Amino acid sequence: MSDSSAARTCEGCDACCTVMAVRELPKAAGAPCSHLLGGSRGCGIWGEHPPSCQTFHCLWRHGEAPQQLFPPDCGFLLAAGERGRWPVAVQVVSLPGRRHAWNTPENRKVFSALAATWNGVVTITDSDGRASHAFAPSGRVYSRTLHPEVFPQGGAIVAVPRSDYAAA
């Protein structure tokens, strides 16, 4: 989706053009953008694509996720919330038809490591923006089924206990 400098290139991927919402377009999260050309040919309005497309980098493209988490391979992308704002929130958003691909022991270790490194929370988030799981910096993993108190408003909010964060 993006075109500014970053650690890796997007070649072979257009996952964010489907899974993310674009505020300048009538495009919902989880729906393919109408400007996608298909057949891995990318964006049909490249060069005139909206600012939010131009500035979006998933964490894989930033070089902050392991190489094996290239979105078309792993089945999800990692999207960070606002930098410089604590706690950092990272969303794991699944590609269409790959809703459970995130749930492997290896991926769980990566999510916990990211949460610990940033003293933030990594959430598994549906296309409706509701979280189903939260990986805390303490190493605890919460699920909405077992810990509904951590997911107010059906997961629209994630409220991991303060004790799960490292002291500031």
- Binding to ligand SF4 by residue 35, rule CB under 6 A? yes
Q: Compose the 67-96 pattern: x for residues touching ligand SF4 by CB under 6 A, - for all others.
A: ----x-----x-------------------
Could you tell me the smallest distance in angstroms from the CB atom of residue 59 to ligand SF4? 8
- Binding to ligand SF4 by residue 33, rule CB under 6 A? yes
Could you tell me the smallest distance in angstroms from the CB atom of residue 13 to ligand SF4? 3
- Binding to ligand SF4 by residue 164, rule CB under 6 A? no
Write the burial class of residue 47 (CB in 10 Å: 0-12 exposed, 13-18 middle, 19+ buried). Answer: exposed
Cα separations in angstroms, 58 against 69, 131, 154 = 11, 18, 25
- Binding to ligand SF4 by residue 13, rule CB under 6 A? yes
Q: Which residue has the tokens 């290139």?
A: 9
Instruction: State how far the Cα of 7 lies from the Cα of 73, in Å rounded to an integer.
Output: 18
Instruction: State how far the Cα of 138 lies from the Cα of 150, in Å rounded to an integer.
Output: 15
Candidate ranges 54-62, 90-98, 130-138, 150-158; the one touching ligand SF4 (CB under 6 A) = 54-62
- Binding to ligand SF4 by residue 14, rule CB under 6 A? yes
Pairing of strands 141-143, 89-94: unpaired
Q: Annotate 66-104 with b (16+ C-beta within 10 A) or e (fewer).
A: eeebbbeebbbbbbbeeeeeebbbbbbbbbeeeeeebee
Q: Which residues pair with 90 in a beta bridge?
A: 80, 122
Q: Which is nearer to ligand SF4, 13 or 134 (CB)?
A: 13
Q: Which is nearer to ligand SF4, 23 or 109 (CB)?
A: 23
Candidate ranges 11-19, 80-88, 130-138, 155-163; the one touching ligand SF4 (CB under 6 A) = 11-19
Instruction: State how far the Cα of 69 lies from the Cα of 84, in Å rounded to an integer.
Output: 24
Q: By the criterion CB under 6 A, which residues form the site for ligand SF4? A: 1-2, 10, 13-17, 22, 33, 35-36, 43, 45, 49-50, 53, 57-58, 60-61, 71, 77
